Amino acid sequence: MKNLLITTISLSFISLVSLYSLECKAQQNPVSDPENKDKWIINETLSDEFNGTELDKSKWWILGENGDYRKKWKGRAPAQFVAHNVAVKEGNLILTSQWEPEFEFLKGEKNNGVFYGGTKEKADNSKPITQACIMSESFFKYGYMEIRSKAANAPVTSSFWTTGYHSEIDMTENFGKLSAENPYNKPEKLEYKYRTNLISWDPQKAKGHKHYKVEDVLDVRIADDYHVYGFEWDKDYIKIYFDGKLLRTSTREELEKNDQWRHQFPQELWINSEVFEWYGLPNKEDLEQPANYLIDYVRIWQKEITPPNFNALGFEGPFYFQGRSMNWWAPNKDHWRMTDDKAASGDLSLCFNYEGDFSGKNFNIYAPFGSLDLPEGSNEIEFKVWIDKDTDIKKIDFILTNPKTNISFDLSNVKKGKWVKVSQKFTRNKDSVQDLKNGDRVQIQLKGNTITSKKALLYIDDIEFKHNKGLAN
């Protein structure tokens, strides 16, 4: 009898638990896919219901907190991002824009030619606007993003966007209200517009390149109520949703025709408000009351959850240290780039592609300072290389920069048209210098006088060091 009772109790406990988890699951499905036919998995690292009493710092960081902007952005001047405009209350993230004549704006600093708090000409506190911005601590690649929010009822944007290598996705960049003084233009229905952009920051994009910019005029004013803005970012297409309803689809193929697809790289999230001069800056009257952008939740679903760190030496994502993303590989010329054309492993590799005069030129690409942490002593580096059949190249140099170590690879006998692993032993008599300003890093260099063909196309992937204390690989 005792046993039976325990069994009954545990059964009812189990059914309660399953009911509860079913209910949670139902709540956690995308509004655009309430039955989760697409089998989305919620990414807990990036999703946030904002149900606590303060911002979850394991997920987000506040731009400007303790004066730290991590070299990202201090706000769209004249407005400046400040930490005191960020709050979590009553189930919402609240990002405030306000008029703060007493605030001490960044002295003498400009953004887009405008002084913080002032004008183009003067740092005179004539536009003392403070705003708020948070960014995710992690990156992810591909998924469905949803934000349930109510736009600030003021001449500021209420935005949800991402950035990655050479790329930006503005899922929503909506303007709550026309400004009281609007000297430039008065776009009709601006307060009803759901605006989405795909921005290419690719230095190789053509002059006159046009970003993908679309807007849908809704039948509701966006600052009047909460709405669900959804954006599916797939490797082959994007889809834009409003309150669960599909508004637009664009395929990668269509976007590539206009060179508008640079979105095959991991992205990090931004939620913020900005001011835009061309729609008219807010004045004192517009911000008489602080304007709050209210975010009920941010949910990111994926088909496959992105791991927390990337193999940056395998070109899968940015360098990531001490919980912060550092940076991507950066070329000093535009002929090196990360690409998903081909890869030895993962989706991405590093590509060099150039046709023209090679003589007397060196072509470099750099990992960020401090991203290499090798112990002194003997070591070994290996990587995979893929050389096109029409490319004749004799050598490639890997220069470890602090302490300086030059490792030269003879490529003249490497088989073409396939991934080939090459490796070399080396010794250093000092540990890597760990410094974010000039610390150890990898520099890859092609010397023009070692290329004898008219054009050069090659790929590099999976750089590995036998001994590496850092997180770089």
Q: At its nearest, how many Å lie between Ca ion and the CB of residue 267? A: 17
Q: Interface residues for Ca ion in 381-420 (CB under 5 A)?
A: none
Among 83, 222, 338, 343, binds Ca ion (CB under 5 A): 343
Q: Would you count residue 350 as binding Ca ion (CB under 5 A)?
A: no
Among 187, 244, 290, 346, binds Ca ion (CB under 5 A): 346
Q: 192 vs 310, which CB is nearer to Ca ion?
A: 310
Q: 243 vs 341, which CB is nearer to Ca ion?
A: 341
The CA-CA-CA angle for residues 368, 371, 373, to 5°, reads: 155
Q: At its nearest, how many Å lie between Ca ion and the CB of residue 347? A: 7
Instruction: Show the tokens assigned to 219.
Output: 């039948």
Q: 267 vs 349, which CB is nearer to Ca ion?
A: 349
Q: 187 vs 346, which CB is nearer to Ca ion?
A: 346
Half-sphere exposure of 247 (CA within 13 A, CB side): 20
Options 89-97, 106-114, 366-374, 456-464: segment touching Ca ion (CB under 5 A): 456-464
Let me know: does 137 contact 55? Beta carbons within 8 Å: no
Gyration radius (Cα) of the chain, Å = 26
Q: At its nearest, how many Å lie between Ca ion and the CB of residue 144? A: 25
Q: 325 vs 349, which CB is nearer to Ca ion?
A: 349
Neighbours of 60 (CB within 10 A): 21
Neighbours of 164 (CB within 10 A): 21
Q: 196 vs 349, which CB is nearer to Ca ion?
A: 349
Q: 349 vs 371, which CB is nearer to Ca ion?
A: 349
Q: Is 205 exposed, middle or buried (0-12, 13-18, 19+ CB in 10 A)?
A: middle
Q: 28 vs 473, which CB is nearer to Ca ion?
A: 473
DSSP per position, 304-363: SPPPSS--GGGTSS-EEETTEEEE--EESSTTEEEESS--SSSS-EEEEEEES--TT-EE
Options 84-92, 198-206, 337-345, 354-362: segment touching Ca ion (CB under 5 A): 337-345
Let me know: does 44 contact 297? Beta carbons within 8 Å: no
Closest residue (Cβ) to Ca ion?
Answer: 346
Let me know: does 70 contact 324? Beta carbons within 8 Å: yes
Q: At its nearest, how many Å lie between Ca ion and the CB of residue 383? A: 10
Options 47-55, 135-143, 229-237, 312-320: segment touching Ca ion (CB under 5 A): 312-320
Instruction: Show the tokens assigned to 83.
Output: 């930490």
Q: 218 vs 420, which CB is nearer to Ca ion?
A: 420
User: Count of residues binding Ca ion (CB under 5 A)?
Assistant: 6
Options 205-213, 257-265, 300-308, 458-466: segment touching Ca ion (CB under 5 A): 458-466
Q: What is the DSSP letter of 68?
A: B
Q: At its nearest, how many Å lie between Ca ion and the CB of residue 343? A: 4
Q: Interface residues for Ca ion in 189-248 (CB under 5 A)?
A: none
Q: Would you count residue 307 as binding Ca ion (CB under 5 A)?
A: no
Question: Which amino acid type is present at position 398?
Answer: F
Instruction: Show the tokens assigned to 87.
Output: 């709050």
Options 78-86, 142-150, 345-353, 450-458: segment touching Ca ion (CB under 5 A): 345-353
Q: Would you count residue 461 as binding Ca ion (CB under 5 A)?
A: yes
Q: In what order do the strands lie in the sheet with 157-164?
A: 60-62, 133-140, 267-272, 157-164, 167-175, 193-200, 212-217
- CA–chain centroid gap for 309, Å, is 14
CB under 8 Å to 144, separation ≥6 — which residues? 30, 32, 33, 38, 40, 230, 231, 232, 233, 300, 301, 302
Q: 346 vs 375, which CB is nearer to Ca ion?
A: 346
Biggest alpha carbon–alpha carbon distance for the chain: 91
Among 314, 318, 370, 439, binds Ca ion (CB under 5 A): 314
Q: 137 vs 461, which CB is nearer to Ca ion?
A: 461
Options 13-21, 145-153, 213-221, 349-357: segment touching Ca ion (CB under 5 A): 349-357
Cis-peptide into 78, omega within 30 deg: yes
The binding site for Ca ion (CB under 5 A) comprises 314-315, 343, 346, 349, 461
